[in-house]
Amino acid sequence: MGEVNLHGEWSSPFSYRVIWALKLKAIEFEYIEEDLSNKSPLLLQYNPIYKKIPVLVHGGKPISESMIILEYIEETWPKNPLLLPSDSFERAMARFWIKFSEEKGPTIWKIFVTSGEEQEKVKNESLEILRTIEEKGLGEKKFFGGENIDLLDLAFGWMPYWLGVIEEILGLKLLEADKFPRLHAWIKNFKQVSIIKDNPPDRDRMLIHFSSLREKLLH
Amino acid sequence: MEGENEVKLHGMWASTYSKRVELALRVKGIPYEYIEEDLRNKSPLLLQYNSVYKKVPVLVHNGKPITESYIILEYIDETWQNGPRLLPQDPYQRAQIRFWASFIQQQLFGSFYKLISSNGEEQEKAVEEVFEKMNVLEKGMKELLPEGVPEVDGNNSGVLDILVTATFGPYKAHEEVFGLKVLDPEKYPLLFSWVQKLNEIPLVKGVLPPHDKLVALLQFIKQNDLKPSS
């Protein structure tokens, strides 16, 4: 079917989504770590418009944009396991929440790159976003995908790891356990899934890396 | 499966997102009931169906609401398998179309929005950005369609045709109100000729907003410095 390569970056939640999807489907792939301050000519050739990671290359054909890559993986290697609902309405619901995660994620990231009054404002917006996800997105389910994780859980994969890193560096707690019990339970369950457990991002390295990023941003 | 197949669309006559869904329903030959929403006075049903964003369009199929226009297009294609396919079967081609749909939405619309909501020097920058993005789109479409735009009619239109129509179909109204030629035939010959072809299709003519009515609305929005929203 063709060789699979993934151009990614060690600290990127977008990169990790693809790694997790490929591993869940037991797809063999070669991983190429990109230095974002010195992008490879191949990356620039494969993603000339955005020049970003991740890029999946299958049989020499590049696909960019992480959620588009995930849908491509799901369609090219269907089942084993199924990563989107088979019912078209449920699938539309999953895509709705994937889009929500994509659109609202940047707001939460803004907490990391702001301070003072602006940060306070973004923090409040973020709490609302998390409230919506908790109540309307996840609801009573174990995973966003139901009994097992699916693409939607991967789309929210920034929450179990990256949000915690931001909270620790900034010394603030956004996702308090008593205020967001369902999301807390989900995070615990997500991290227990064997593929995720066996392929976590490097938290310690991220703490150092993002700390110094925060320093630079504030000066 | 037997039983009712009730389709309703909550839309707004000038909304490009709403038009996408109307075009898709008509291309597929799906009968539907259309409910015009007054965006300044949204119906309780709309607010219930789309409690997260409170926007149009919302497609309601047998009582179940689907929101977000592009997601609705894919839902329509997957649910009604008779009639023309809006998306190709091949996963790589589907990925390419999704890439361009996302580009139109985030990059192009993002820069249109900046254009109409800025002034002076900021607006000049916004104009540059619009032309840059249009360039990227033109180039991308040339690569995607190396043999040029295929002959389109109401029976073989796909998602890209629908997106191009809904976005650029009313270009004359946009030019008249904003005084800027975005769909320039010399800069973007493929996009321009594509829009001309699409605008000739009776199905498209029947869906696109009436020119004068749209001009009046856009003038109103511009004069009152309103933000366009669905």
CB atoms within 10 A of CB B146: 6
Q: Which of A4, A49, A102 to mutate to test the interface with B (most CBs of B within 10 A)?
A: A49
Q: Decide if B229 is inside a domain.
A: no
Residues 6+ apart with CB under 8 A from A174: A108, A111, A123, A126, A127, A130, A163, A166, A167
Q: Decide if B86 is inside a domain.
A: no
Residue that is last in its domain, among B51, B79, B107: B79
The interface predicted TM-score (ipTM) is: 0.95
Residues B117 and B164 both lie in one domain: yes
Q: Do the chains contact at A136 and B51, CB–CB below 8 Å?
A: yes
- For residues B164 and B134, the answer to whether their CB atoms sit within 8 Å is no
User: pLDDT tens across B41-67, in order?
Assistant: 999 999 999 999 999 999 999 999 999
Alpha carbons A175 and A112: distance in angstroms, whole number: 15
- Mean pLDDT of the region A135-144: 96
Read off the amino acid at residue B147. Answer: E
Provide the 3-class DSSP secondary structure of residue B185.
coil
Report pTM: 0.94
Residue that is last in its domain, among B18, B46, B79: B79
A49, A61, A95 ranked by CB distance to B92: nearest: A61
For residue A128, give the chain B residue with the closest CA. Answer: B52
User: pLDDT tens across A99-114, in order?
Assistant: 999 999 999 999 999 9
Read off the amino acid at residue B146. Answer: P
For residue B73, give the chain A residue with the closest CA. Answer: A92
For chain A, the first-to-last Cα distance in angstroms comes to: 50
Residues B122 and B204 both lie in one domain: yes
Residue that is last in its domain, among B42, B58, B79: B79
pLDDT exceeds cutoff 50 at B3: no
Residues B50 and B98 both lie in one domain: no
Q: Does A77 touch chain B (CB under 8 A)?
A: no
Q: If residue B130 lies in a helix (H) or strand (E), which one and from where to where?
A: helix B120-144
Our count of domains for chain B comes to 2
Q: Do the chains contact at B67 and A72, CB–CB below 8 Å?
A: no
Write the CATH number for B29: 3.40.30.10
Q: Decide if B209 is inside a domain.
A: yes
Closest CA to B85 of B160, B14, B180: B160
Q: Decide if B37 is inside a domain.
A: yes
Residues B96 and B209 both lie in one domain: yes
Q: Is A109 exposed, middle or buried (0-12, 13-18, 19+ CB in 10 A)?
A: middle
Q: Do the chains contact at B102 and A58, CB–CB below 8 Å?
A: no
Residues B111 and B214 both lie in one domain: yes
Structural domain range at position B202: 91-224
For chain B, how big is the Rg over CA atoms in Å? Answer: 18
Residues B48 and B133 both lie in one domain: no
A68, A69, A96 ranked by CB distance to B67: nearest: A96
What per-residue confidence (pLDDT) applies to B221?
86
Q: Decide if B2 is inside a domain.
A: no
B79, B95, B140 ranked by CB distance to A68: nearest: B95
Q: Decide if B64 is inside a domain.
A: yes
pLDDT exceeds cutoff 90 at B228: no
Q: Decide if B84 is inside a domain.
A: no
B67, B91, B136 ranked by CB distance to A76: nearest: B91
Least reliable range by pLDDT among A64-68, A187-191, B50-54, B69-73: B50-54
Write the CATH number for B96: 1.20.1050.10
pLDDT exceeds cutoff 90 at A82: yes
Q: Which residues of B touch A99 (CB under 8 A)?
A: 68, 71
Q: Decide if B195 is inside a domain.
A: yes
Q: Which residues of A touch B106 (CB under 8 A)?
A: none
DSSP H stretches of helix in chain A:
13-24, 41-46, 66-76, 88-113, 116-132, 151-155, 158, 164-170, 181-192, 194-198, 203-218
For chain A, how big is the Rg over CA atoms in Å? Answer: 17
Residues B169 and B108 both lie in one domain: yes
Q: Which residues of A touch B78 (CB under 8 A)?
A: 88, 91
Alpha carbons B161 and B20: distance in angstroms, whole number: 10
Structure confidence at residue B151 as a pLDDT band (50, 70, 90): confident
Q: Which residues of A touch B98 (CB under 8 A)?
A: 65, 68, 71
Alpha carbons B173 and B197: distance in angstroms, whole number: 18
Strand residue runs (E) in chain B: 7-11, 33-36, 58-61, 64-67
Residues B162 and B125 both lie in one domain: yes
